[in-house]
Amino acid sequence: MRSTCAWLSGSPAASNVTSPNVSSPSSMSMVSPICPERCTFHAPACNRNPDAVPAIPASPSTIMVPTEGATMADIVTVGYDGSDAARVALDWALRYAERAGLDVDVVYVADTSWDSPSFTAAERLKSQGEIVLASDSFHALSKAPHVAVTSRVLTGHPVDVLTEASKDSAMLVVGTYRKDAYERLTTSAVGVKVVAGASVPVVVVPQTSPGSRRGVVVGIDGAEPSGRLVEAAAVEAERLGEPLRVVSAWTLPPMSTPEFTDTTDLYDALEARAREIVDEAVAAVRITHPSLEVSGGVELDAPVTALTRAAKDASLLVLATHGRHGLSRFLLGSVTHDVVLHATSPLLVLRSAALQAV
């Protein structure tokens, strides 16, 4: 039976420990979750006791030691600011990393872009970030005690910093960061800008996403990367141990001329084409992933409405964005853009260029 580090066991030595490394902006000392044993790291096992369960970090910049030999490609980067939305995103990332066998890198961005703060102000913002990360290490530990987690505080504009910090990661995970209804409907939302600018897959986790969820939903439209997008979604479904559902949405185009008053034939043709796209995708997955439960569906509705509805109880909705280089890299397709703003389930956005390797 594994023993527990003194810090977790509630021994007298673990109480009232004041960190010499972290202080509040007012320079008042505060309790920080520093192991009184001063172990270097506490995951995958305590250095002082190889059989101990993971415990609390030895410094506010390290929650747990990264897996030996791990590269950035083995790491899920999480944007974190201590808010409820960020905590939901961190919870999702920890669960995902645990299933996928990946590490987690928690990045707190001290936003210094709003002004040109003095060195003292910048350091104060960084100290606040260190305090948040130190206090919330308990939360990360309780959610996924066997996931190796590191944390760091960086300064700059959140979008720029997160896209740069995650550029070699397996994926970047962010919360919704919606402050009001107006922001939700504008491109100023951090999630939208991160999805548009990041070079790696991005998961946007809405604050409404906790609860009983199951299944991976992938939206396709028959465009050239659809086959690779479905394959990527199938890999995620297998990784999560959950079924895959392939969805294609379609609507009748606007009719403005008299010759299109009878839409029956057009309706039938569009529906048949959508079903053909889905059936082909499902058949391909059944060949490459024979043990995966997969189904398909066609929705007569606006794509954003259809996809968010199809994925309302899903663990993950998977879409592609078509930006490839230059300015297009910072633009999202209208469907992906609107789903980022309105989705109520975790959304994985894959850049079309990255799908070439799938």
Looking at the chain, the whole-number percentage of residues with pLDDT higher than 70 is 59
Residue 110 pLDDT level (bands cut at 50, 70, 90): confident
Q: What does the pLDDT read at residue 213?
A: 86
**CA separation for the pair 232, 170 (Å, rounded):** 13
Instruction: With cut-offs at 50, 70 and 90, classify the pLDDT of residue 149.
Output: confident
The CA distance from 80 to 106, in Å, is: 6
Show the 3-state SS of the chain: CCCCCHHHHCCHHHCCCEEEEEECCCCCEEECCCCCCCCCCCCCCCCCCCCCCCCCCCECCECCCCCCCCCHHHEEEEEECCCHHHHHHHHHHHHHHHHHCCEEEEEEEEECCCCCCCHHHHHHHHHHHHHHHHHHHHHHHHHCCCCCEEEEEEEECHHHHHHHHCCCCCEEEEECCCCCHHHHCCCCCHHHHHHHHCCCCEEEECCCCCCCCCCEEEECCCCCCHHHHHHHHHHHHHHHCCCEEEEEEECCCCCCCHHHCCCHHHHHHHHHHHHHHHHHHHHHHHHHCCCCCEEEEEEECCHHHHHHHHCCCCCEEEEEECCCCHHHHHCCCHHHHHHHHHCCCCEEEEEHHHHHHC
Summarize the confidence of residues 53-77 as an average pLDDT: 53
CATH fold for the domain made of 58-205: Rossmann fold (3.40.50)
The domain made up of 216-357 has a fold known as Rossmann fold (3.40.50)
| pLDDT average, residue stretch 262-282 | 86
Q: Distance between CA 335 and CA 351 in Å, rounded?
A: 14
User: pLDDT higher for 178 or 253?
Assistant: 253
* Number of neighbours of residue 326 by Cβ within 10 angstroms: 8
Which candidate, 19, 15, 16, 93, places its Cα nearest to that of 60?
19
Enumerate residues 6+ apart whose C-beta is below 8 A from 70: 103, 148
Instruction: Over range 351-355, report the average pLDDT.
Output: 67
What pLDDT, on a 0 to 100 scale, did the predictor assign at position 17?
Answer: 32
Which of 11-20, 126-135, 236-245, 250-259 comes out lowest in average pLDDT? 11-20
Indicate where the chain has its CATH 3.40.50.620 domain(s): 58-205, 216-357
Average pLDDT across the chain, whole number: 71
pLDDT band at 177 (very low <50, low <70, confident <90, very high): low
pLDDT of residue 129: 66
What is the model's pLDDT at position 93?
92
Give the least confident one: 1-10, 93-102, 148-157: 1-10
pLDDT at position 2 is 32
Per-residue confidence band for 51, with pLDDT thresholds at 50, 70 and 90: very low
pLDDT of 232 reads 94
- Please tell me the predicted confidence (pLDDT) of residue 278: 95
- In the chain, the amino acid numbered 277 is I
Q: Are 82 and 137 in contact (CB under 8 A)?
A: no
**Contact by Cβ (8 Å): 292, 303:** no
Quick: pLDDT tens for 117-130.
555 666 677 676 67
Predicted confidence at residue 275, as pLDDT, reads 93
**Is pLDDT above 60 for 86?**
yes
Highest mean pLDDT among 78-87, 246-255, 261-270, 325-334: 78-87
Which pLDDT does position 32 carry in this prediction?
31
Question: Stretch 282-301: mean pLDDT, rounded?
Answer: 95
pLDDT band at 202 (very low <50, low <70, confident <90, very high): very high
Counting residues of the chain whose pLDDT is more than 90, the rounded percentage is 27
Q: Is 141 exposed, middle or buried (0-12, 13-18, 19+ CB in 10 A)?
A: buried
